[in-house]
Amino acid sequence: MSYCIIWEFSVSKSQRTAFEAAYGPNGPWALLFRKSEGFLNVELLRSCDRPDIYFTIDRWISEQAFRDFRRDHSVEYEALDRRLDGLASRETRLDTFTEQP
């Protein structure tokens, strides 16, 4: 069972390439998350019906693993968040889920 955080982003056409590089499975977010043993993966999805809408699914082994990561890497997390600010015109944390076996 894993803990998933789902985010929705609105991204202008001019920012798509930079956004995909930053938020994809090999981007700086994933590289930062990989510093935690509790991180599993990140998935980047783009809407077929609304091409300016993206979703990310961040997977962790547990909610506690994510909390530990945020505690241990809060300075790096906030710095990266500020550095990438503006790639998306809107960012919404939709929900958290546990994947069922």
Give the global pTM: 0.91
SS3 per residue for 27-56: CHHHHHHCCCCCEEEEEEEECCCCCCEEEE
- Count of CA atoms in the C-beta half-sphere (13 A) of 76: 14
DSSP letter at 26? T
pLDDT tens readout for residues 54-68 = 999 999 999 999 999
In terms of DSSP bridges, do strands 39-46 and 53-60 run parallel, antiparallel, or are they unpaired? antiparallel
Task: Indicate the fold that domain 3-98 takes in CATH.
Answer: Alpha-Beta Plaits (3.30.70)
Angstrom distance (rounded) from CA 33 to CA 43? 13
pLDDT tens readout for residues 67-76 = 999 999 999 9
